[in-house]
Structure 1
Amino acid sequence: MYLGDEAWPDLESYFESESLALVPVGSTEQHGPHLPEGTDHLIAEALAREAASRTGYLCTPTVNIGVSPHHRQFHGTMWVDPPVFREYMESLARNLTYHGVDRIVFVNAHGGNVQHLREVGRRLHDDGTAYALEWMWNESIPELVDDCFEVNGPHGGPKETAMIMHIAEALVHEDRLTEARDDGLVDWGRETGRQFGARTFYDAIENTDNGVLGDQTDATPEKGERLFEAATEQLCKLSEWLADRDETELLPREHV
């Protein structure tokens, strides 16, 4: 069920019987020369709406702009400052609790949002308002991501390219995949942008001139479909698990 498609009288029965909501969260930021700036929010919304369709749980409208100042040098990147993002997401979550929701899954597709969504979840948990989890799609299927691509990349790489090929193939500039790979940073790893254990970069452009990492030519719509189906299955299972929890399991523990 997608909240934005429903009339308010038709939502009453949902809130009477269910207490879980899926909230897709992404970003609007550069994803290299080959992918749309909406890559992250397109992925988040597609996964959340598909999981909602399969499970019957509620999917809210998507939060399209997140914490992305580290991509600001590239044309069109949009962002809000971290404190503003956290306050907005907490306010949105508390809005849902007004209608009876006390379990929330932030269906996230942007790494820059992770720590802030976790902090929002902690705030809501600490005062017993709601139990909110941050869920990042690729972290739910790490083995499959590794199996699909010889050289993956955490941003604008083959996994995101494949997902958009599956979700919205018309938005992919397939004639620029080789350019994306050759002008980006293909060989990256744990030590990229680090010296003696310290992270030495703040902005994406300090690591990659065109904003992307990995080998984009390794992406295909078929791989994207495999990733999408596997991640959706994980999200459905998480939703069912959370919905089945007794309320007492989700409340903060008493001081020892």
Structure 2
Amino acid sequence: MSKHLIRNMTWEEYRSRTENSFLILPVGATEQHGPHLPLGVDAMLSENLSLAIAERTNAVVAPTLSYGYKSQPTSGGGPMFPGTIDLKGSTITSLVYDLLEEFLADGWKKIMIISGHYENDAFLAEAADLLLRNQNKEFPKVLLSNWWDNISDETIPLVFDEIEFPGWALEHAAIAETSMMMHFLPELVREDRMVDDGIDRPPGYQRFPPSHSLIPASGCLHTAQSSSAEKGRLIIDDVTNNIVSFLEKEFLLDLEIKG
């Protein structure tokens, strides 16, 4: 049971943290991740990464938002798969705006949103911008980031040492996400269900309604072969270091960055 999770705190314990800590809001989605990973991967990874950051910084982690914006076929498999539960962009924006507004009313001055679902990012940014765009002082402050933008160039060849890196658009349910799930929640990875499916490259356009023949029936955009818990650890350690580094600067934290 993590001491950093709001859901495990009493209201008095929660109130006592607002003055000298900062809040992390993990945001994910519920969408297909091939036959070998669960539907909740995006939410699980954002929450566990948030907890890894909280362990380093003594932050508080809000309940994870586990639904996201519409899964696109060439970055998440699309809506053709049962279990992919999509929200409209206006719903995401309004929901996150309301959450941020409540957190500010509770006294939080420093809030970090960790996204685990690529399609969410524009709507998360819109919510934060609408809330704070007329503010002239530095705090309250909201930061928005994700794990894939915080992987160092030096780490990528260590993760993609056997199979060439296809780009983040096709890395859905592939080596990076599978490896991180092997690190965080190995019991939820069905290694015997991994398939060597994928597409060569995403088209340079989007189609509505989406094509059912664009991606394999498995839902995989690229292979997960060569995934491992060790590669997952490499990713998480690297991403955590890089996020903690900019949090130290933006939130004026006094921390020792450890490798």
Same-fold call, TM cutoff 0.5:
yes
Quote the residue 1:7 is aligned against.
Answer: 10
Query: SS at 1:23's partner residue?
Result: strand
Query: Which residue among 26, 29, 35 is the counterpart of 2:28?
Result: 26
Matches within 5 A, 1:108-123: 108-123=115-130
Range 87-96 or range 144-153, more displaced: 144-153
| Contact 2:19 2:108 (C-alpha < 8 Å) held by counterparts | no
Quote the residue 1:156 is aligned against.
Answer: 173
Percent of residue pairs bearing the same amino acid type: 26
Q: Structure 1 runs of 4+ off > 6 angstroms?
A: none
Matches within 5 A, 1:231-246: 231-244=239-252
| Contact 2:15 2:106 (C-alpha < 8 Å) held by counterparts | no
Deviation at 1:204, TM superposition (A): 8.0
TM-score, with normalisation over the residues of structure 1? 0.84
5+ residue gaps, structure 1, are 246-256
| Counterparts in 2 of 1:204 and 1:222: CA distance versus 1, 3 Å | farther
2:191 is aligned with what amino acid?
E
Matches within 5 A, 1:1-256: 1-18=4-21, 20-70=22-72, 71-128=78-135, 130-143=140-153, 144-149=155-160, 150-152=163-165, 153-177=170-194, 179=195, 181-182=196-197, 184-185=198-199, 187-188=200-201, 192-194=202-204, 199-201=205-207, 203=210, 205=212, 207-209=214-216, 210-244=218-252
TM-score, with normalisation over the residues of structure 2? 0.83
Aligned residue-pair number = 233
Deviation at 1:78, TM superposition (A): 0.8
| Counterparts in 2 of 1:140 and 1:9: CA distance versus 1, 3 Å | same
CA RMSD of aligned residues (A): 1.9
Question: For each residue in 1:219-244, what CA deviation from the matched residue of structure 2 results, as whole angstroms up to 9, or x when unmatched?
Answer: 11110111111112222223222211
Question: For each residue in 1:155-192, what CA deviation from the matched residue of structure 2 results, as whole angstroms up to 9, or x when unmatched?
Answer: 11111111111111111111122x2x23x32x33xxx2
2:113 is aligned with what amino acid?
F
The CA distance in 2 between the partners of 1:33 and 1:154, in whole Å, is 15
| Contact 1:28 1:78 (C-alpha < 8 Å) held by counterparts | yes
The CA distance in 2 between the partners of 1:204 and 1:24, in whole Å, is 31
The CA distance in 1 between the partners of 2:69 and 2:235, in whole Å, is 25
Deviation at 1:110, TM superposition (A): 0.5
| Counterparts in 2 of 1:145 and 1:10: CA distance versus 1, 3 Å | same
| Contact 1:108 1:136 (C-alpha < 8 Å) held by counterparts | yes
Question: For each residue in 1:59-82, what CA deviation from the matched residue of structure 2 results, as whole angstroms up to 9, or x when unmatched?
Answer: 111000111343211011112111
| Counterparts in 2 of 1:109 and 1:119: CA distance versus 1, 3 Å | same
The CA distance in 1 between the partners of 2:85 and 2:57, in whole Å, is 32
| Contact 2:158 2:231 (C-alpha < 8 Å) held by counterparts | no
5+ residue gaps, structure 2, are 73-77, 254-259
Deviation at 1:16, TM superposition (A): 2.7
